[in-house]
Structure 1
Amino acid sequence: MRCEAAPKLHLDDGFDLRPATAADAGKIAWWMAQPHIQRWWQQDWSVERWAQALDAQAAGEHSIPCLAALEDEDFGYLELYRVRRDRLAEFYACAEHDWGVHVAIGDTARVGRGIGRRLLRSVADALLRADPRCDRVVAEPDVRNTPSIRAFAAAGFDPAGELQLPEKTALLMVRTRTVEA
């Protein structure tokens, strides 16, 4: 993973996280075409376009594309990124070492079962443990995406105000180091 200062993550609660590669493009493309994801991500791209996007992310210093697994079964796609290298930095007073997370639960059998909440808590805990300079992990779900906002809140993220991004009105959700795991 080339993303600057990418920490080695050890997830709790039975989750595994691995870098996504172009070989995962078919699975990710299928997930992104699912209505519960497509509405919010708007990235229901072809397998070829996903393969190119994953290769570009792996070669860059902006974000780390990952697959999440539980019980050795892939179920979700995540992007971890340094906020200061992302356009999100233009919309709130980010700290130099803030991490951001995007998450999509692709396996429809696992949607609505608390998996997202558990994964988000585990990822945030792991980022905060692995990077002592990081005091915040953030996300910016669409304000209309109630299930996502509930999952972030249940994972210990607090709302920190609305942000008007070019494509949506987002709710900045912030998980700090002071939250009990």
Structure 2
Amino acid sequence: MSEHPDSRRLIVVEATADRTITRRDKLCFVRIGFRPLERRDFSLVARWLAEPLVVRWWNHDSSPAAVERDFGPCVDRRDATEVFIAAAADPFGLIQRYPIEAEQDYFRALQSVWPVPAGALGIDYLIGVPAMRGRGLGRQMITTFADLTWTAHPQARDIVVPVSTGNLASWRALEGAGFRRVAAGDLPPDNPRDPPEHYVYRLRRPLEVS
């Protein structure tokens, strides 16, 4: 992939974590860092949003105007959503978290499928570099980010994520990260070509970090 400017000067402002990924008989050690999204990242995010597999499931406008519209308020902290760039040696993905109740239409739709606990957080995630997929990195990214979330949001007790039933890689990554399927039901799909069927996954705060 083409290297993002300053990608080798990754500043990890929350934490980093070492995880071991086992895939078949191959053992890999990957160190993942997260830093808050900045406007200098917008061209990189636009490229990721235009990548075919990301288009398939995110269905997000990748134009500069749309990236500014949807991510600019997060960078300026005018939106409750916190967006992070995930990197190993180089940036490879994006992950964001938000209070589900802050998105009222989304919250009401999700409540119709499953009773969302008060104060629950939601997350969205993508791996924008095709070569980084299929290696267990999504599971590791979610696991590490969830661990950091409990520290960053000590009042949060739950992370809740609905996933299209057809997005096998996404919900398997959640299961690998310790999320439990708690419901199935119809929700508006991100991509209009998809049916409304979704699984709902929940991760509860571990007792040891309560």
Q: TM-score, normalised by structure 1?
A: 0.86
Aligned 1:5-154 pairs, distance under 5 A: 9-13=14-18, 14-59=31-76, 60-71=78-89, 73-86=90-103, 87-90=105-108, 91-92=110-111, 93-154=115-176
Q: Is 36-45 or 51-60 further displaced after alignment?
A: 51-60
Distance 1:134 1:20 in 2: 22
Contact 2:120/2:158 (8 A) holds in 1: yes
C-alpha RMSD over aligned residues: 2.1
Return 5+ residue gaps in structure 2 as ranges: 1-12, 19-30, 190-195
* Structure 1 outlier segments of 4+, above 3 Å: 178-181
* Identity across matched positions, percent: 25
Equivalent residue pairs, number: 173
Return 5+ residue gaps in structure 1 as ranges: 1-7
1:160 paired with 2:177, answer: no
Of structures 1 and 2, the larger Rg is shown by 2
Q: 1:179 to 1:34 in 2, by over 3 A?
A: farther
